[in-house]
Structure 1
Amino acid sequence: MGKFTGKLIISDLDGTLIPRGGKISVENREAIRHFVSEGGLFAIATGRTPEAAAGYVEGLPINAPGVFFNGAMLYDWQGQKVLKTLPLTAGDEENRWPAFARECLKRFPEACLEVYTADNCHVVTPEANDDPRLPFEYYRYDHTELETLVDTKKTPWLKFFACDKHEHLEEYVKLAEEMGVAQLANGFYSEDNYYEFVAREVSKGSMLSHVREMLPGIEIIACGDYLNDKEMLEAADISVAPENAHAEIGKAAKLKGPAVEDHLIAWLVEKL
């Protein structure tokens, strides 16, 4: 038993634990090690794949299930196995997602469109359109013809992602409503130039209910900075946002700490 026994910190990565384009600070790493050494549980919640997250969090004492694909996957970090997936394409008997993706390819020639499956990121647009972040990420991705992914029962989609100018993404969202896929999904901006779809009622927050089932009686302290973190903050017992979080997230959080660059997690552990 330690002074943090019974508590779980679950943190978003980009903009919360890690400065965008940066690395986890020494201060945050030391605070997390101290928290875990005193009985605390630590996990991450991200839109990334487990493989992509691994390059950023290497060496951290992650000892609780983590949330990936913005809520579409629960993953046992220590056991390195998938515990649960909630596919975007489940129940889409009319196969509307591939049809929507085809239309996006026609209407948004500058976009980078990505289909995420449990084992890979499939970029279905030309290499010239690639999101500049891709070569610097810690995961494999393939340029894939969309038509090889249209059998969604054989290859379920966990997430459909677009990177484009914000004004183009607004049209992309309207198209999703027109084609009837928006009603099948939870759609949200994860950055100003990123829009993502996961399954309806799926979010980082909804997956916390499964974490609670696995860890009965745990007190959950959730940290996040952007719109895709909102449901997670609302579902937590204690919600924390950095001072430079999106304005809506700042309002949703019970606690407001320093910016990510000033070691938010270290501040939180000290406050706890």
Structure 2
Amino acid sequence: MTSSTPRTRLIATDLDGTLLCDGGTVSDRTAAALAAAEAAGIQVVFVTGRPPRWMQQVSAHIGGHGVAICSNGGAIVDVRRGELLESFPIAEGSVLAIVHALRAALPGVAFAFEHPRGWAREPGYELRMWGDDAEQAVDPAERLLADGRVAGVFKILAKHPSLDPDTFLTEARRAAGHLAEITRSAPVAMVEISALGVTKASTLASWCREQGIDRTEVVAFGDMPNDLEMLAWAGHSYAVANAHPEVLAAVTHHTTSNDQDGVATVVEELLKALEPR
């Protein structure tokens, strides 16, 4: 690191498929690297597609500030206190318009909704992940949206029973991309929908402005299409070896896979560069 290279002040990392091992855990090596970065004055921010309710598993590693950006930028969460600090909702009229547009173009699609009080789903939205069995409202989307049980939606999830995941993303963007940001991070046919202009990058950029951190002082890590905007925004970005082909092609710097502590490998090198010579 030369004197003309901006000092790293913030590490922004995706979780699943990037920082976490395939079993969803933080390895000892990665935990030590994150702790060392915080001790060196580098802020660590988790920037994830996960909803707020799924953050307890990594709360011990979030750093002194305790804040994570969740739901692809749709929410900022104080993980330690379990408190939603800010959310960026989809316009109320747009939620139903998105549902109708995707249903018309992609028969068989089913929906779930993240909102400040929790989440809700349609009966046809298949549960598959830990945490999905938390208390929720279950009804057709139109009924959920009409009776006030779902308000302030900051993320819509849509699943299709048979489409290829990348095909589903392409077709969903064609049908409703004018209404919202549509991306994907799961290995199944599931797309994740946020308000227009709301991405991991937009919320991270806002957080950094508040902290007085320039984008050139940010190092970012990711693996899936929902990370692309963040990786393009950050001054220095890395794709883990197991990343989606589109991410590997878009990012100049690569590191080893999530199961081989790819994030920790880079963080350790960053910290070595800070050591006095």
TM-score (norm 1): 0.82
Q: Name 2:274's counterpart in structure 1.
A: none
Cα distance in 1, alignment partners of residues 41 and 151 from structure 2: 40
Cα distance in 2, alignment partners of residues 153 and 177 from structure 1: 29
Q: Is 1:189 the equivalent of 2:187?
A: no
How many residues get paired?
257
C-alpha deviation, 1:185, in angstroms: 0.6
Q: Which runs of 5+ in 1 are unaligned?
A: none
Aligned partner letter, 1:182: G
Q: Is 1:23 the equivalent of 2:20?
A: no
C-alpha deviation, 1:172, in angstroms: 8.0
Cα distance in 2, alignment partners of residues 223 and 81 from structure 1: 25
Q: Is the 8 A contact 1:62 1:78 kept in 2?
A: no
Cα distance in 2, alignment partners of residues 12 and 22 from structure 1: 12
Cα distance in 2, alignment partners of residues 50 and 78 from structure 1: 11
Q: Is the 8 A contact 2:74 2:194 kept in 1?
A: yes
C-alpha deviation, 1:59, in angstroms: 1.6
- What secondary structure does 2:238 align onto? strand
Cα distance in 1, alignment partners of residues 24 and 7 from structure 2: 30
C-alpha deviation, 1:76, in angstroms: 3.5
Residues 174, 150 of structure 1: alpha-carbon distance in 2 compared, 3 angstrom cutoff = farther
Q: Is the 8 A contact 1:43 1:63 kept in 2?
A: no
Q: Which runs of 4+ in 1 moved over 6 A?
A: none
Q: Is the 8 A contact 2:10 2:45 kept in 1?
A: yes
- Decide which of 208, 215, 220 is 2:211's aligned counterpart: 215
- What secondary structure does 1:190 align onto? coil
Q: Is the 8 A contact 2:168 2:191 kept in 1?
A: no
Cα distance in 1, alignment partners of residues 168 and 60 from structure 2: 41
- Decide which of 118, 127, 131 is 1:137's aligned counterpart: 131
Q: Is the 8 A contact 1:6 1:39 kept in 2?
A: no
Q: Name 1:68's counterpart in structure 2.
A: 70
**CA offsets, 1:108-151, max 9 Å, x none?**
1xx5531111221212124xx52322xx2387242421303236
Q: Name 2:88's counterpart in structure 1.
A: 86
* Aligned-pair identity (%): 23
Q: Is 1:160 the equivalent of 2:161?
A: no
C-alpha deviation, 1:202, in angstroms: 1.3
Cα distance in 1, alignment partners of residues 220 and 133 from structure 2: 25
Q: Is the 8 A contact 2:120 2:150 kept in 1?
A: no
What is the RMSD computed on CA atoms of the aligned residues? Answer: 3.0
Cα distance in 1, alignment partners of residues 120 and 149 from structure 2: 16
Q: Which runs of 5+ in 2 are unaligned?
A: 1-5, 271-277
- What secondary structure does 2:184 align onto? strand
